[in-house]
Structure 1
């Protein structure tokens, strides 16, 4: 069945002769996570329950419990009478094992750079490369399992590093000013993992990316909250890279960089669903900038972007470009964005290369926003953007910035109409976003 609102709408497209939009029907059947994804549940089997002991090093007992746990069961962290804090060095998850973090529990990452160092002595320093730290939590070649519960994982990015005089975030900002690379640990990393689930957990204050996926097949993020200050550099929310069949649903993300960044630097990323999510401060819902191996079959539906700098964003350049195709944005509300639509093939205009970005078969349907810059910038006349606008409404003072783009309008049209384009005006009222805006939830009873 088509992802259009109704069969009558699809028939109207055919009758109207809008061939480009009608062609989208075929690929939209597949333009999403191919799994049957439903709301997860908390584990029914627990292999170990660990109570907090305050600011002690809990690494040994947590890792031992994970290693001994049978697949399909959970290690549950619970709060003691007056304390729910665990502190740990890096942890390695096992196949099929779930880490269950109870309400009121905080699993805090150690602030000691030596605990993350990969053996080169660069973690917690500025260097010519930025890969000197292992992540706090890793899923490597695992299948099943995940992280669930109403508790929190805290990366302590704003805490002073042990043996240093600055925080992880201050190091990252200093690296930017000095032209080097900060060596800060990611909070969670999935490497060649399959069918991993994150449910209801809060992730906050990562020193670097919150969740990075590489060569993952099947990942579900449902009811997850990511909460980090807007000025914390390089603290992306969720970054699917070289992965397929990923769903991010009913989640709330505010962070210091991309709220989501879909990447394809080490392999193609495809079949991703982003559903019923709310994004607050951050750099937006992004594809790129590494897309050289190709991004395709992406569905974004019923999403709000409230105060992100960019809104719906596709970014790349000739040093890391590739094909981005079959992307559908459906039912999106935007407000307070500098660039509500930001599709740019010259993300870094100063770089060269032969990896030309090509964006095509991009559909915006039932998208409403306020003011700001609406950017559609293809690479050149031989590599234009191909975008269809169907029921796209922005305020009258929103400004289009278009270069090397081929645009078509569906029956819902577009407003304001870009100058120089013979497109249908928007028909009917814009999407009513009044009920869509919700504050970032600070209480799990409101989020779930």
Structure 2
């Protein structure tokens, strides 16, 4: 039997043809067989490529023989001096080599302006090292607008830039501190206060991202802690091959626009064994024009923040996404797909598996009308979405397609929510797999065997200290 492009949307057709397909079965058994066939078709459709296509394993720290230059903090060094020392060290090393920052006896603190990484060079931050972004708009300025509010918000350079690089990355157990809450030089406000004022004034803040990766290949971020970014912590754009393993991102819940990790127009990305709490999306998979696909998000723990998201910019399409063995505890949203008619596109072949949700206002939020006032003809379409072994408690479960011509297609298999969770379903084709669904959305018939519920007790771990 061939697999249709819209397997869930074909359920009515399957049911109507059951008498000719299986004439010996009574109507009830025919319905059960149709549901089971739907599960098989949906699984085949979603799992064909729904993950990073690379063979990804845990990275390692560079061998000492790969260290090109070792730097120690200089007491009373200025940000200009540290910027110059760091950039010169990066520029002096070749592909396959590392710049190692060590704490020494001076407290392990390097304060710098923006740095540009070199292809193939790794920045290695030892235990006790903190690389600090100077809170000085003049150092990050592109066009005279950094540290101000305008209509574009693109007036600052990022703190660490990988552009057109191949190989290399940032590793080690040290920290990178964006100082988003520190008062900016020449101002009475912090970067975060500027962002909040921009929201009130309906403008855009000109603040730096912490790490930006553009047109890069085979980048690795391993064990590093990112904290207090003025804006996004780690942004990937048009990147092929990125491994983020054992990352910690730690920023206050009220720090505006401080997304954790944002892959956009990229492919073959793995985010694994990481811990994230921040003031906006924990992870936001986006697609402007080139599309984002083949992303694995596995064995991660997410805390306060706005959710594990796809969107809201998805015009280029998002597909082949695997989310497995993830916990989300205490967020505004849990699993989230968000877009609207001003920036929509196709989201397909997304698999959520073994996910535990707790204390989230909206445990599920799949919404094609993210901005209810948005206008345009870029209609979001979400299809071939599978939730298997997903458990949570309380809150609203939003599943909202755009209209009757653009329904949302979702398979639920072993999905269980307690504590008065309420479904809000509009313009959606829902299917129930053999693992069952509880509570049942209106109009959905579950298999008779009951619900296979995830065991989540071992997943609730505190955010790592230190």
Q: Distance in 1 between matches of 2:45 and 2:405?
A: 25
Query: Equivalent residue for 1:145?
Result: 168
SS in 1 for 2:138: helix
**Distance across 2 between alignment mates of 1:212 and 1:156:** 17
- CA deviation after TM superposition for structure 1 residue 152, in Å: 0.2
How many angstroms apart in 1 are the aligned matches of 2:448 and 2:202? 47
In structure 1, how many angstroms separate the alpha carbons of the residues matched to 2:46 and 2:354?
18
Deviation at 1:340, TM superposition (A): 0.3
Alignment of 1:60-99 (within 5 A): 60-99=84-123
**Is 1:339 equivalent to 2:358 in the alignment?**
no
Counterpart among 188, 211, 214 of residue 234 in structure 2? 211
TM value normalised by structure 2: 0.90
Q: Go from structure 1 to structure 2 and tell me whether the alpha carbon gap of 1:371 and 1:179 turns closer, same or farther (over 3 Å shift).
A: same
* CA–CA distance in structure 2, aligned partners of residues 180 and 56 of structure 1: 33
Q: 1:21 aligns with which of 39, 44, 64?
A: 39
Deviation of residue 26 (structure 1)? 4.5
Question: Are 1:422 and 2:431 counterparts?
Answer: no
Choose the corresponding residue for 1:34, options 53, 56, 61. Answer: 53
Separation of aligned partners in 1, 2:436 and 2:217 = 41
User: Corresponding residue for 2:78?
Assistant: 56
| Helix, strand or coil at the partner of 2:459 | coil
Pair 1:46 & 2:48 matched:
no
Q: Distance in 2 between matches of 1:130 and 1:247?
A: 29
TM-superposed deviation, 1:20: 2.8
Q: Is the CA contact (8 Å cut-off) linking 1:415 and 1:425 kept in structure 2?
A: no
> 2 CA distance for matches of 1:322 and 1:26?
19
Flag the structure with higher helix content: 2
- 1:238-283 per-residue CA deviation (whole Å, 9 max, x = no partner) reads 0000000000000000000000000001320000000000000000
The 5 Å alignment of 1:110-129 reads 110-118=134-142, 120-129=143-152
1:236 paired with 2:254, answer no
The residue number in structure 2 matching 1:323 is 346
Cα–Cα, structure 1 residues 428 and 316, in superposed 2: closer, same or farther, change >3 Å? closer
Instruction: Check conservation: 1:393, 1:426, Cα contact below 8 A.
Output: no
Checking the alignment, whether the CA contact within 8 Å between 2:90 and 2:121 is kept in structure 1 is yes
Structure 2 contact 389–452 (Cα < 8 Å) conserved: no
Give yes or no for contact 2:215–2:237 (8 Å, CA) kept in 1: yes
- SS of 1:392 mapped into structure 2: strand
Gaps of 5+ in 1: 1-14, 444-448
TM-score between both structures, scaled by the size of structure 1:
0.94
- Residue aligned with 2:244, SS: strand
Alignment partners' CA distance in 2, 1:148 and 1:29: 32
Instruction: Tell me the alpha carbon deviations over residues 285-316 of structure 1, each in whole angstroms, 9 at most, x when there is no partner.
Output: 00000001100000000000000110000000
Give the secondary structure class of the aligned counterpart of 2:192: helix
Alignment partner of 1:435: what SS? helix
Q: Map 1:249-328; keep pairs closer than 5 Å.
A: 249-328=272-351
Higher Cα Rg: structure 1 or 2? 2
In 1: Cα distance, 2:61 partner to 2:450 partner: 45
Higher relative contact order (CA 8 A, sep 6+): 2
Partner of 2:418: helix, strand, or coil?
Answer: coil
> Gaps spanning 5+ residues in structure 2: where?
1-31
CA distance in 2, matches of 1:407, 1:142: 43
RMSD over aligned Cα atoms: 1.2
Which position in structure 2 is the counterpart of 1:5? none
